[in-house]
Amino acid sequence: MSIELNKPALRHARALVRQGKVVKDERDDWSEAAPTPDEENAFIERDGWTEYSHWHMGVDRSENTQTKTAYSFPFGDFRKVHRSGVIAGESRAGQYDHTEIRDALKKLLELIDSE
């Protein structure tokens, strides 16, 4: 497993924040805000795997890119970036030594908090 920073997702997240498409919720809100598996499936069916990938800061290129297992560190609900998702991802990336992802999420959080 070789998870790396999903640069298109980072660009997508930054653009959404700059457009004001962000929910400034708190750390513990992510468990309620995160998309359910049914919501993920509906999004994939409607918008496809590429768009799904743009909502995940991590990508494992050794996995089939048309499976959910290829993507990690979600940060939004397919409409808006959630501050709580960014915080959760930053924390989890740090725990598992994904420093590039952790650092990108930290900068994204700083952007959210400065808006």
DSSP notation for 70-101: GEEEE-B-SSSEEHHHHHHHHHHHHHTT-HHH
Residue-range domain boundaries for the chain: 3-114
pTM for this predicted structure: 0.93
pLDDT at residue 1 is higher than 70: no
Place of tokens 């700083």: 110
pLDDT at residue 2 is higher than 90: no
For 47-91, the pLDDT digits (tens) are 999 999 999 999 999 999 999 999 999 999 999 999 999 999 999
For 22-39, the pLDDT digits (tens) are 999 988 899 999 999 999
Query: Could you tell me how many residues make up the chain?
Result: 115
CB-based contacts of 55-58 (< 8 A; 24+ apart in sequence): 55/9, 55/12, 56/6, 56/9, 57/5, 57/6, 57/9, 57/10, 57/13, 57/89, 57/93, 57/101, 57/104, 57/105, 58/3, 58/4, 58/5, 58/6, 58/93, 58/98, 58/101
Confidence of residue 112 (pLDDT cuts 50, 70, 90): very high
